[in-house]
Structure 1
Amino acid sequence: MNALFLGMACLLAAAAGYWVFGRGKPRPAGAWAMGALLASFAAAFASYASLVADTVEAVVPHVARLLSNSASVAAATSVLAVSFQVNLAREESRRRTRSRVSLATIVVFAMALLFAVEQMTHRSPQVYALYLLLFISYLGFAVIDFLMQAVRHSNSTRRLSVRAGLRMAVAGCVCALIYVAYKLTRLVDLGLGLGLINGNSECSSLGGRCAFSVTAPALAVLLICLGLTLPAVAYPISQARRRRWEVQSFEALGPLWQDLSSAMPHIVLPSVDAENASAAATDSDFLLQRRVIEISDGILALRPYRRREVQEAAQGTVDVGTVRGAAVVEAAVVKAALVGLKAGRLSDNAAPPSSEAASRKDLRADTEWLLLVAHAYASRTVRVAEGGQPEPVGA
């Protein structure tokens, strides 16, 4: 278990360092609270390792328990601080965080005092019972406080990563409550002198009594930590995937945009000023949005050249009930309209705009529709003869 707990402690300590010092400036809101949370969890995991416990107890007997419990109090307080900063207004978050930190400081100081008294009284069970009551009271309060917030916001948030992370944290809270229940049972056992739980035996496995005293809090730390950091980890991944899609979409729309802009140069939007040109040239969202607007303007400008007979002929070659079929029809109409524009031949019976295009309400939906049109336009799905009539391929 030493390797497991120490490995997790090192990983969490590295994550804490990155969160506080590796995020650049200005640091995002909550960076220090998240760093404190990860550092507290790292200390908690390290305290579970018998190697660390034996080392510190060689200096001060039985102090490993105090260090472990203090780390748990700090971790619980940090979890609340992060939760407050995410879910509450700035001033309210600061007010609640200050009150929880003050309370946690008092609790840790009192625990240290009771620990010292316990050692001076030869490990008095009564003093230890007071110590344990203080510890589990704060821990139970903090866990229930966070659990209520996590359940409420996991049902209302729209982001999948946040919802999954909060539900993972809820599972961690359940493990923490199991640990609290175990400590309460231990407290009752001490108070009544039943001797049901042997608190002096060391844990060498993750089962048996250790499932409640070590495994449950370790799982709570792990699940809450993963749950709170999941959105932050998922965000850059989702952003990278979004940028990749934007670049690929921009390139896929190239052939259609090239033909439209060559025939109608006025649809190309003015260049940005020199001050913002370098930033705009690498902004995939800006470039894609610009290209979608220019293609949409070009298709709109072709309305006088859209021929109904071309549209009807193309509809006879595909399943118009599908979006892909509608895109093939639209590509044929646009291709024929470009032929008519170059020949200066207006349509006597203009084809109406595609209903699929009219139903798109945002950039992504517009892009997905135009990608289908551009694919059909560039492929050999439909050709347009010199007279502007579509020639289906493969019929």
Structure 2
Amino acid sequence: MHHVLYPLCAAAAWTAFLYKLRDRRRQAGNPALTAVCVAFLLLAVVFTVSSPSVWEGLDRLVGVPNLSTLVSQGCVVAFSATVQVMLLFWVHPRERAVVKVRRRLLGVAVALAVMTVLFGTTAPREERSTDFVVHYSANPNYALYLVFYVSAFAVGLVDTTRIGWRYARDAPRPWLRRGLRATAVGAAVGLGYCAVRIANVVAPLVGLDMRPWEVLAPLCASVGALLVVIGLTVPAWGPHLSGLPALARRYLDYQRLTPLWRAVALRSSPEVVLDPPVFRALEWLRLRDLDFHLYRRVIEIRDGRLALRPHLDRRVAAVADRLGRAAGLPADDLLAVVEAARLAAAVRDKARGSPPTGDPPADGHEQPGGADLSTEIAWLVRVSRAYRRSPVVRAALAEAR
């Protein structure tokens, strides 16, 4: 599990660090953002060093067996404190937050100093990159170190859970509330890691074997860390998710208009098309400037229809209306089918070089559709669907022919 979860979490933490570092350069005076960057850097170091291959390589490089344990666990404690710093700057005025931050930074400095001294007394000589805690938990010196480390980490997690969950209710923005709650939940899940580590100390005293339960430690650490990463970054990228349903609707509308646009504008009146597609197979990738392309598609369909006006025939509309009523179509669908039928007939006649009908629709019915862009799009989508799929349109064309 160490070989999979830890590299995955390291990649997520490094990605989050680089993502927030870009914002940090634009907002150099934001202490909360600085704390977020430091937190992600520490978390990235934790999981990078804890990956077995990096663990063993670092120890060989410095010539100190299991030094990676102290590095990774020291970064864990520092990370926990840094998350608290970030939350304090999020939920308190700067002056009040600074006072609280100083106390926590002093506490973490003392904790790291004590951890270094206690680890030095343990003197673990046998390299253990995947089961270090279980192997050395019976060592009294290491047990003392482990209890102190876990206690310092757990205090930070409890404080993070308390601050995040408490202030999520008062957060002014919905994605900030969700981020605070995700961070609080991630910290709470991390307490499962602390529980396993305390059990590692107690187990030798009562004759229990913790190896079957060891899988819970990296699992809780990894899941908790990923939730914290999500919680600390979601206020920045979460609002974009809120716009995804509307973006998806606009993209679907853009594609649904394609059959009508191709017939009425691209093939029948290509001069009205501003940006003809070079590769038809790649047209569906048009997400950039989607609103502009959707607007242009509506305009080009309307311009193409205007160019087809001499070929629009009221007799085709009458046939489609009669067949649609016989089929029991609802009023809105009936209007769309009638419009699609006379457009299809006009496209066919213009392509054949047939002379104009001399009987175009009356001016009052020249441009049926919506009163604004959204209703216009909805109308043209119905027409496009009927143009492509309606059996009434095909029957009307056959009868009119």
Tell me if the contact between 1:171 and 1:223 (Cα under 8 Å) persists in the aligned partners.
yes
Q: Which structure's relative contact order is higher, taking Cα pairs within 8 Å and 6+ residues apart?
A: 2
Where do residues 1-395 of structure 1 align in structure 2 (5 Å cutoff)? 1-8=1-8, 10-12=10-12, 15-16=15-16, 18-19=18-19, 36-49=38-51, 52=55, 55=59, 59=64, 64-65=69-70, 67-74=72-79, 77-78=82-83, 81=86, 102=102, 104-118=104-118, 123=141, 132-148=150-166, 156=174, 172-180=186-194, 186=198, 196-198=202-204, 207-208=212-213, 210-211=214-215, 213-225=217-229, 232=237, 248=255, 251-252=258-259, 253-257=261-265, 283-293=289-299, 295=301, 309=318, 312-316=321-325, 318-321=327-330, 327-332=336-341, 343=357, 345=359, 357-358=369-370, 362=374, 366-367=376-377, 369-377=379-387, 381=391, 390-391=396-397
2:138 — aligned with what? none
- Taking the aligned partners of 2:82 and 2:41, their CA distance within structure 1 comes to 12
Counterpart code for 2:82:
T
Tell me if the contact between 1:172 and 1:220 (Cα under 8 Å) persists in the aligned partners.
yes
Tell me if the contact between 1:147 and 1:173 (Cα under 8 Å) persists in the aligned partners.
no
Pairwise CA distance, 1:109 = 0.8
Q: Which structure dedicates a bigger proportion of its chain to helix?
A: 2
Change (3 A) 1:168 1:109: closer
Gaps of 5+ in 1: 270-281
Tell me if the contact between 1:13 and 1:38 (Cα under 8 Å) persists in the aligned partners.
yes
- Secondary structure, counterpart of 2:341 in structure 1: helix
- Taking the aligned partners of 1:80 and 1:242, their CA distance within structure 2 comes to 41
- Taking the aligned partners of 1:147 and 1:352, their CA distance within structure 2 comes to 60
- Taking the aligned partners of 2:94 and 2:256, their CA distance within structure 1 comes to 44
Counterpart code for 1:217:
A
Change (3 A) 1:151 1:361: farther
Change (3 A) 1:177 1:328: farther
Bigger Cα displacement from structure 2, 57-66 vs 142-151: 57-66
- Taking the aligned partners of 2:291 and 2:181, their CA distance within structure 1 comes to 32
- Secondary structure, counterpart of 1:316 in structure 2: helix
- Secondary structure, counterpart of 2:59 in structure 1: helix
Q: Deviations over 1:188-207 (max 9, x none)?
A: x99xxxx73449x9x995x4
Tell me if the contact between 1:246 and 1:285 (Cα under 8 Å) persists in the aligned partners.
no
Counterpart code for 1:256:
V
Work out the number of aligned pairs and report it: 350
Pairwise CA distance, 1:74 = 1.5
Counterpart code for 2:115:
F
- Secondary structure, counterpart of 1:313 in structure 2: helix
Tell me if the contact between 2:157 and 2:187 (Cα under 8 Å) persists in the aligned partners.
no
Overall identity of the aligned pairs, in %: 21
Gaps of 5+ in 2: 123-140, 275-287, 350-354
Counterpart code for 1:19:
Y
- Taking the aligned partners of 1:372 and 1:177, their CA distance within structure 2 comes to 55
- Secondary structure, counterpart of 1:59 in structure 2: coil
Change (3 A) 1:222 1:100: farther
